[in-house]
Structures are given as C-alpha cells and as structure tokens.
Amino acid sequence: MPSSIGVGRILGIRVDIHFSLFLVVAFLSWSLATGFLPGRYPHWSTATYWSTGFVCALSLFVSVLLHEFAHSLVAIRRGYRVEGTTLFLLGGVSSIASESRRATGDFVISVVGPLSSLAIAAIIGIVAVASGGSSPVYAAIEYVAIINLLLGLFNLLPAFPLDGGRVLRAAIWAVTGSFRRASGISTRSGQVLGLLLVGFGVYQVIQGHALQGIWVALVGWFLNRAASASRSQDEVARALERVTVGDVMDASPPTVSRDLTIHEAVFDHFVRGAVRAVIVCEGERILGILSITDVRKVPQAFWADKPVRDIMTPAPLKSL
C-alpha cells in the first residue's frame, strides 16, 4: 500500500503503518480526552484525560494488530503465504495468498481474527470487572475490553471483505463447491450492508450525532466500494478464464544474435521496436531470453561492449 511506512517485522510478518493511522490516533485521543472520558469520569485533571485518551487510542491499534496477527499466524501454519500487515484508517489488512486455497483453510483463517478479539475482550473484561473502580488504569482496561468486543462483533458481519463475509464465502464454497457463486453472494452482501451503514450514518447525523454518523457512513461507504471492487475483479477473472496463453502470445517474437551488444539490443529492439524482451538465438537454436529486467542489472557504461549472451536469462526457460 503506498503512503505507508514500514515498522519492521514482528514474528516474521512485515508490518506497515499507513499515514491515515496517525490522524486516527490523534482524533481518537482528542475525542476520548474531551468527550468520552470527562463524561464518564468527571473529576480527573486535563493531563490525565489526555494521557488516558492517548493510551486508549494506541491500545485500539495494538488490538487491531493482534487481530491481524491471529489471521496471519494461522495462515502461515496452513501453508499460505503472508506478505505482511498494513494498519490504516479503518483497521488492518493482511496480504495473504496461496496457490492452492481451500474452503476450510479460508474459513479457519478468517474466523480466527474476530474470535481472538472476542477472547481478548472476555479476558480483559473479566479483569476490568474484578478490579472495578474509577482510576485511569481501570478506564483504559475497560476501553480495551469494549474495543475488542466491537472489533470482534463488527468483523463477524457477513459482508465481504469483512472477516464474516470471508467466513460466509468459505461456507458457501464448501457447501456448493462453487467459489464463484460463494464470492458472488458474499460480495453482494458487502455492497448491501455498506449501503445500510451509509443510511444508518445519515440517520444518526439527522438525529444530531454528527461525528458518530459521519464515521459510520464512511465505514459503510468503504465497505460498499471494497465489495464492488471485488465483484469487478471477479468479472475480469471470469473473462480471462477462457483466454489461453496461445491466444495472446506473440507467435513470431523478435530474435537477436548472441553476439549483439546490449546497446544495440536496447536501442534497436526495446526502444525502436517497443518490445520488453527478445529471444537470443544462434541459428535455429534458442539460447535464452533477454528482457528489460536483465538489462537493468548492467550499468549503462558497459552496454556498448557487453554482448547479450553475458546477461541474458539462459535456456532452459521455465515452461508452462
């Protein structure tokens, strides 16, 4: 995701933070320090409101991180590839991929995030009830419990791309055997729920809860857009399903001799011929392929002297 900064690897998983997150932490600290906390605990100092508000806002993102880690760690155990986790405006996204996905794997990976949030909520909730009181520490513990409860419940909504929508997709996939049908139903559900949330947000604004209403509407709008984007992707994938490599390949690609210099290959073929790769031959025999990627590895000063055979990707090329 662009405009994010990497904060390194935690348990082997790359974690990035999108800049929108800093805005949220600032906004949340402010709204807790000036609204929620003074309303609930009227006798603290301003500094206590702000420091508690800040700790609560940060704890939201630690909670989101734990939620995402639950997804990622289970995914890794099931042999899925985890690229990393990005925290942003509305929470977190983990990039998880696999060549051989299965309904059960998808189901478990999706459901474990919300279940971990609910488990954290239960444990911290018990601690909060047991300790009781009205100290800043208690307020923070209570807030963490509530936020994890909401995180778990919200993500269980059966609307793609929320976790609940993924769980729904995996379940329908397992029952019907059709991933396409499962994806169609769960993304449609995401679109509809997104619109309902926008409607509910507008209703809240009309009722005088402007800030809350705008936030709910924004979340709904993002959900609707993400579900729609997913549907378009499905359509493209469906359209490409019947296209074979043979349909789109170049049956007579440009070829060059092994002794041609890199300079000549670049200017005669890549620049003038507007191709991104050429086949390197010796007579009828294919020796390898020279691509722009190969050329990029060599400083331009050497292009005039080096023959393409020195830097080409040699045969045997990986075949499909």
Specify the residue, 33 or 157, whose C-beta has the smaller distance to Zn ion. Answer: 157
Q: Which residue in the shown chain puts its C-beta closest to Zn ion? A: 113
Query: What track of x and - describes contact with Zn ion for positions 264 through 293 (by CB under 5 A)?
Result: ------------------------------
Rounded least distance, CB 155 to Zn ion, Å:
5
What is the Cα–Cα distance from 5 to 297, expressed in whole angstroms?
A: 27
Strand partners, 84: 95
Specify the residue, 49 or 80, whose C-beta has the smaller distance to Zn ion. Answer: 80
In the list 53, 84, 105, 113, the residue contacting Zn ion (rule: CB under 5 A) is 113
In the list 106, 142, 163, 294, the residue contacting Zn ion (rule: CB under 5 A) is 163
**Which span sits near Zn ion by CB under 5 A: 155-163, 197-205, 239-247, 258-266?**
155-163
Specify the residue, 142 or 163, whose C-beta has the smaller distance to Zn ion. Answer: 163
Q: At what angle do helices 46-77 and 103-131 cross, to 10 degrees?
A: 150
Confirm or reject binding of residue 106 to Zn ion (CB under 5 A).
no
Rounded least distance, CB 32 to Zn ion, Å:
24
Rounded least distance, CB 171 to Zn ion, Å:
16
Contact 111, 163 (CB under 8 A): yes
Matching residue, tokens 């991929």: 97
Residues that bind Zn ion (CB under 5 A): 113, 155, 163
